[in-house]
Structure 1
Amino acid sequence: MKSKLLTFTLIATVITFFNCKQTEQINVDYKYSDQPEIFNCKIQNDQLIKEAIYSFENDLNEAYDKDNKGRGRAYSSFIGLTIGNRFNIEEVASKHSLQIAKALQQSSHYKNNVFSYNSELANCLFSSIKSANTKTSFEALRSANSLRPSVVLPTLRNNVNSFASDKSLVGILAFDYYYNSLMLLNEGQLKTPIAPAIENQKVDFNKTPQPTKRPISTDKQKLEATGHEGHNH
């Protein structure tokens, strides 16, 4: 009887611990609260959604456009790498974005770590797309349950020049192709991007210099040298 009671107590403790871990609240440091609002929709976690988009943009900009030549460049790089299955999120994502991803993981916008296209956030994103043609295309894909990466990513790439003014497209990219992968990582897996040092390279004074290779003289040059050595002017 004692054995059964002990087993029941242990199981109850494990379940309680698991539930506590599942419902543990993530505290997000809102760095972009002073930035302009993005959507007019009334949605849950609206400030978290805003923070997610600004942090996503900052991550891409740091990784692919440090010279600030244009946000389109950063998005094109991200989309191209994602299409080619060559995007390494741990080399791009910041700790701040990871914190946001963990908070999003607990929201109603995701189910089993997958962005829900039936969520109120998805409704907001699709209804807020500024281009009428693009909006119609996405709504048609959504109705047909055809929002596959092979269709969505090329469509977004074709509209990359609109990203600066249309954050709905940014949101689709961020929430379905960035944060859903990021929320599966932990802080220890993140890596700081290292840019190649081209200018102001440091010289290693302990390194032995390589001898300079001299051109090999031709037979003609050797003969001319011998001829000059034989004459005492």
Structure 2
Amino acid sequence: MSTRILKISLLLIIAFNLSCNTNEAKLEQFKYADQKETITCNTGYDAILKEALYTFESDIINKYDPKQKNKLRAYRAYISNYISNRTALQETVSPHTKAVFDVLKSKKTLWNGKQLNYSSPEVTCIIDNLNDKNLKQTIQSLLSVNSMSSDLFAAPLRSSTAYSRDAYLATFVALDLYYSKLHDIDFSKVDLTANTPKPEPIDFNKTPAKTPLKVKEPINNNIDHTGHNHN
């Protein structure tokens, strides 16, 4: 290969890489950077996947259990509503979710059209690291016959709570049952600010509990010396 052709080839490769990079969205704010780490798949954007998981959990807690903030209860409610086709995502997605989704959407290998790309390196890593052997085997069996879908995957989740202990499974749930479905939302018609978690109201009429003061015992200087010999 001549030097001229080699230079042209290198320039084309650089231009292609730059083009790919400029097409990828960037997340301006990481709200959960200080939270416990989730998955390690060396995707180049594991931090985004971590942010995506915590954002998903925040959304479903805000939607399904805003008072008690029980994560497991929120998961169960979301999965049940997903199976029944009653998730009402327009009433669940927050502005931060949209920002995270824009970044995920720009990761072309992650998607097969509007569906999660189950054969992508990112998703393959997540599946390979699932702790629940039964769910892992179910997914791999469905993949082996080219029948994997989010609807088939959701059904066995109804009788499982493994996602509460396994960050890989929780991430898979978030990607497959939540973010992939955001492709169908017309965000121009959704008021995302209405779904922002509200701060707990302060009840100014509630009297704070008072800690009883410890009364210091007075020193008794009038000691009875009767019966003592002071000679």
Q: Give yes or no for TM over 0.5.
A: yes
Q: Match of 1:56?
A: 56
The alignment's C-alpha RMSD in Å is 2.5
Instruction: Please tell me whether the aligned partners of residues 131 and 166 of structure 2 are also in contact (alpha carbons under 8 angstroms).
Output: yes
Structure 1 residue runs of 5 or longer lacking an equivalent are 1-18, 196-233
TM-score of the pair, normalised by structure 1: 0.67
Query: Residues of 2 paired with 1:58 and 1:117: CA distance?
Result: 25
1:11-22, aligned counterparts within 5 Å?
none
1:215-226, aligned counterparts within 5 Å?
none
> What is the deviation of 1:178?
1.1
Indicate whether 1:153 and 2:154 are aligned.
Answer: yes
Indicate whether 1:97 and 2:97 are aligned.
Answer: yes
Distance 1:186 1:28, change over 3 A: farther
Indicate whether 1:38 and 2:16 are aligned.
Answer: no
The CA deviation string for residues 31-64 of structure 1, in whole angstroms up to 9 with x for no partner, is 1111111113221311111100010001001111
Query: Residues of 2 paired with 1:119 and 1:28: CA distance?
Result: 26
Query: Residues of 1 paired with 2:196 and 2:58: CA distance?
Result: 16
Other structure's SS at 1:163 match: helix
Instruction: Please tell me whether the aligned partners of residues 24 and 103 of structure 2 are also in contact (alpha carbons under 8 angstroms).
Output: no
Other structure's SS at 2:54 match: helix
Instruction: Please tell me whether the aligned partners of residues 59 and 94 of structure 1 are also in contact (alpha carbons under 8 angstroms).
Output: yes
Provide the aligned length of Structure 1 versus Structure 2. 175
Other structure's SS at 1:158 match: coil
The CA deviation string for residues 50-82 of structure 1, in whole angstroms up to 9 with x for no partner, is 100010001001111123363221111111111
> What is the deviation of 1:187?
5.6
Other structure's SS at 1:142 match: helix
Query: Residues of 1 paired with 2:139 and 2:150: CA distance?
Result: 12
> What is the deviation of 1:131?
1.9
The CA deviation string for residues 103-127 of structure 1, in whole angstroms up to 9 with x for no partner, is 1111021232321001122112111
Other structure's SS at 2:164 match: coil
Distance 1:119 1:24, change over 3 A: closer
Distance 1:81 1:88, change over 3 A: same
Distance 1:145 1:27, change over 3 A: same
Instruction: Please tell me whether the aligned partners of residues 43 and 121 of structure 1 are also in contact (alpha carbons under 8 angstroms).
Output: yes
> What is the deviation of 1:135?
1.7
Q: Match of 1:135?
A: 136
Instruction: Please tell me whether the aligned partners of residues 95 and 196 of structure 2 are also in contact (alpha carbons under 8 angstroms).
Output: no
Indicate whether 1:25 and 2:25 are aligned.
Answer: yes
TM-score of the pair, normalised by structure 2: 0.68
Instruction: Please tell me whether the aligned partners of residues 62 and 69 of structure 2 are also in contact (alpha carbons under 8 angstroms).
Output: no
Structure 2 residue runs of 5 or longer lacking an equivalent are 1-18, 198-231
State the identity %.
27
> What is the deviation of 1:128?
1.4
Moved segments of 4+, more than 4 Å = none
Query: Residues of 2 paired with 1:113 and 1:30: CA distance?
Result: 25
Query: Residues of 1 paired with 2:65 and 2:139: CA distance?
Result: 28
Q: Match of 1:164?
A: 164
Query: Residues of 2 paired with 1:86 and 1:163: CA distance?
Result: 21
